[in-house]
Structure 1
Amino acid sequence: MEFQSKLLALCSLHILCLLLFHLNKVSAKVPAIIVFGDSSVDAGNNNFIPTVARSNFQPYGRDFQGGKATGRFSNGRIPTDFIAESFGIKESVPAYLDPKYNISDFATGVSFASAATGYDNATSDVLSVIPLWKQLEYYKDYQKNLSSYLGEAKAKETISESVHLMSMGTNDFLENYYTMPGRASQYTPQQYQTFLAGIAENFIRNLYALGARKISLGGLPPMGCLPLERTTNFMGQNGCVANFNNIALELNDKLKNITTKLNQELPDMKLVFSNPYYIMLHIIKKPDPYGFESASVACCVTGMFEMGYACSRGSMFSCTDASKFVFWDFFHPTEKTNNIVAKYVVEHVLAQFLE
């Protein structure tokens, strides 16, 4: 009996060691999450630039650790936070411009993203936010700091093994093309898609030239189903706007083609297409199985049609339990939705970075 107990204890210890070994391997394979994009992945960079596109006030962040509004456009965490956690790195990815953090924090993950930006420089100009080219400049500065912190050889290895996430494109249409004069007079929607896809491809080539080898190119969600669009779709009885969803699908096809092309052209490149479209659409069309009660109305609303920066600074317009809502504000998902989408993308796409 005593022998069996010792054997059981040894087996348990062995299993624990194997588990720890596996976790260490996972951490070693993906040492950091590096993020570029818009409000879907902005961890608070816009707090530190002169723009109205901010969410550093209540009730944003009310379900984040400490109940603090960090500048994330949600009631809590955003997809990149959950991705970093699933890779065993850390629970949240900090914003590069946040002075609370330094290179020791950024060495395992950093977000250069800026709410209201897009592939197109003209999109970032609408609300004076950080354009994509500037995010790349910040990334170059980050690499220099990382080399000083880790040493040049270790920094290069970290960059090549880290997962670089890109998430943007929605603002290029909803905030720019269909809202502002300019691009619509220059391009048809399909021509504009080609224009944006070209910028995405060039950006990935720049990341590759700087040493990135693991890159996730994010697709667009069904943007015609955002509460902002449904609320104003009077003729369609407040249903999803089919035209906007089709635009998202068409651009997603072009982005997916880029991944095929560049994987063939660039040696040692591992470029994947992370598509949130269908999982988001499934949640929106069939919210009940996920425990949601509403997919058409946002938890936090003011009754006005702002571009997603619509949460009231007071709580009188906010729902009691955000986990019952697919969307937090007119433009952005709740923490629960972010978690579901992130888990789906990790399981179906990003997991190959751990192989």
Structure 2
Amino acid sequence: MAAAVSVSVILFLSALAGGGAVEALLGAPPSPGAAAKAKVAAVLAFGDSVVDTGNNNYIRTIIRSNFPPYGKDFPGGKATGRFSDGKISVDFLASALGVKEMLPPYLDKKLTMDDLRTGVSFASAGSGYDNATCRTMMTGLTVERQLQLFAEYKAKLGGAMPERALYLLCWGTNDVVQHFTLGDGKTEPQDADFMAQRAVGAVQTLVGHGARLILVVGAPPVGCVPAQRIIAGGVRRQCATDRNQVALLYNRKLSQEINRLNGQLAGVKIIYVDLYSILTDVMHGYQALGFKNGKDACCGYIGLAASVLCNFASPLCDVPSDYVFWDSYHPTERAYKLMVDQVVHRYLRFL
């Protein structure tokens, strides 16, 4: 998260009314407004660790975060399976929309019917558009499995969809990482096309179930997360431009496909979320935003600690909110909050 980066940032700046990206991030947390809140009564999330609120606690996988120091800033200091020091993206999104303060994982057997009606996360850390990504990451909830769980969820509600539900899809990071670390037999353009078509398939499945408002999140600047800086960023730990180029290829293709679907599906609103530019602006403007470190991980310092490698014995920064990144792949609670504020401002306030 190169000339391509500059183009992305310029597009983001031009999309923000009334000032630059950092100024927008520094502003008061945007409100989606009464109209947007009235239109969203449930949030349903699908994807990877960015939106997994604890499903991996309930499946056979080593990709977990239900142990310290994860959750150290979560209410009660509890490690819930969220990959951060506290709340994550979908918690803040559900709260901003007035739905509920936290989005629970679907696999939690203690959920009530009210919990289900107002939304859950089906996401699984380590998941990707390519099922091979899930096998490599040793996790179980593929795209198909998450959609199967959604069908099960729908049956629990008597076959009726939650009214005014917002659906969120967030995959891609793990696919980009696997392309470079283990290889997937595809060229970069082939990978981008494959990922975009998988996203389209997931969207079409949800529309078939009755979804009418869908956010599809693009890939972040994968080459700029701490782990990829260490692995492929050279001595100076720069952003790995090859990773970022694949992310941008995918995002461009995904945006085009979403535009096509919006022209074909009457009564359905599909919104492409440019996470790449949002996280890029947080990293570039980290000092103005009150962070002290915009590229290293709080947990592990050198940037190669995530999941079981970020544990009670790992070196840990004193103040996670001083860092953009909590571990080698995931933002801190504070960074998540800033990014979700921008998602609300840019995409949801005029629903």
Per the TM superposition, whether the score is higher than 0.5 is: yes
1:99 paired residue number: 109
Contact 1:26 1:88 in 2 (8 A): no
* Structure 2 residue aligned with 1:336: 334
Report the AA paired with residue 69 of structure 2.
Answer: P
Given the superposition, is the C-alpha separation of residues 92 and 131 from structure 1 closer, same or farther in structure 2, using an over 3 Å criterion?
Answer: same
Q: Residue deviations 1:184-234, cap 9 Å, x none?
A: x2x101111101111110110110000001000001111111010112345
Structure 1 or 2, whichever has the larger Rg, is 1
The answer to which of 342-351 and 108-117 deviates more is 342-351
CA 43–251 in structure 1, closer or farther in 2 if over 3 Å, else same = same
* CA positional deviation for 1:286: 2.1
Name the CA distance, whole Å, in 2 between partners of 1:208 and 1:341.
27
Q: Choose which of 178, 181, 198 in structure 2 pairs with 1:179.
A: 181
| Aligned-residue offset at 1:164 | 0.1
Per-residue deviation, residues 33-75 of structure 1 (Å, max 9, x unmatched): 0000000000000000010000000010111111100000000
Asked if residue 327 in structure 1 is aligned to residue 325 in structure 2, the reply is yes
CA drift of 1:250 comes to 1.1
Which residue of 126, 147, 163 maps to 1:136? 147
Corresponding residue of 1:166: 169
- Is 2:144 the counterpart of 1:145? no
1:317 paired residue among 303, 306, 315: 315
Give 1:27 deviation, angstroms: 4.4
Which stretch shifts more, 93-102 or 73-82? 93-102
TM-score, structure 2 length as denominator?
A: 0.87
- Corresponding position of 2:192: 193
- SS of corresponding position for 2:294: coil
* Contact 1:115-1:129 within 8 A present in 2 as well: no
> TM-score, normalization: structure 1?
0.86
Separation in structure 1 between the aligned mates of residue 165 and residue 195 of structure 2, nearest angstrom: 25
Which of 337, 348, 351 is the equivalent residue of 1:350? 348
Q: Secondary structure at the match of 2:288?
A: helix
**Relative contact order, CA 8 A, sep 6+: which one is greater?**
2
The secondary structure found in structure 2 opposite 1:208 is helix
Q: Which residue of 2 aligns with 1:41?
A: 51
Corresponding residue for 1:113? Answer: 123
Describe the shift of the 1:84–1:294 C-alpha distance in structure 2 as closer, same or farther (beyond 3 A): same
Question: Does the residue aligned with 1:297 lie in a helix, a strand or coil?
Answer: strand
Query: Counterpart of 1:214?
Result: 213
| Aligned counterparts of 1:234 and 1:166: Cα–Cα separation in 2 | 29
Q: Where in structure 2 are the equivalents of 1:30-69 lying within 5 Å?
A: 30-69=40-79
Query: Would you say the 8 A contact 2:301–2:317 is kept in 1?
Result: no
Alignment-mate amino acid for residue 192 of structure 2: Q
Q: Quote how far apart the aligned CAs of 1:180 are.
A: 2.3
Structure 1 Cα separation of the partners of residues 338 and 302 of structure 2: 27
Match of 1:281, as an amino acid? Answer: T
**Structure-1 residue corresponding to 2:224:** 225
What are the equivalent positions in structure 2 for 1:192-271 lying under 5 Å apart? 192-233=191-232, 235=234, 237-271=236-270
Structure 1 gap segments, 5+ residues each: 1-21
Shift in Å, 1:129: 2.3
Q: CA–CA distance in 1 between the matches of 2:100 and 2:267?
A: 27
- Residue 299 of structure 2 contacts residue 305 of structure 2 at CA under 8 Å; is this kept in 1? no
Q: 2:81 aligns with which of 58, 71, 80?
A: 71
2:224 corresponds to which letter in structure 1? C
Count of aligned positions = 318
1:109 partner SS: coil
- In 1, Cα distance between equivalents of 2:303 and 2:176: 20
User: For 1:242 and 1:350, how far apart are their aligned partners in 2?
Assistant: 31
Q: Deviation at 1:236?
A: 5.2
Q: Is the helix fraction higher in 1 or 2?
A: 1
* Structure 2 unaligned regions, length at least 5: 1-32
- Across the aligned residues of Structure 1 and Structure 2, the Cα RMSD in angstroms comes to 1.7
Q: Residue 308 and residue 55 in structure 1: after superposition, are their counterparts in 2 closer, same or farther (change >3 A)?
A: closer
Structure 1 residue 244: deviation in Å?
A: 1.0
How far apart in 1 are the matches of 2:98 and 2:139? 35
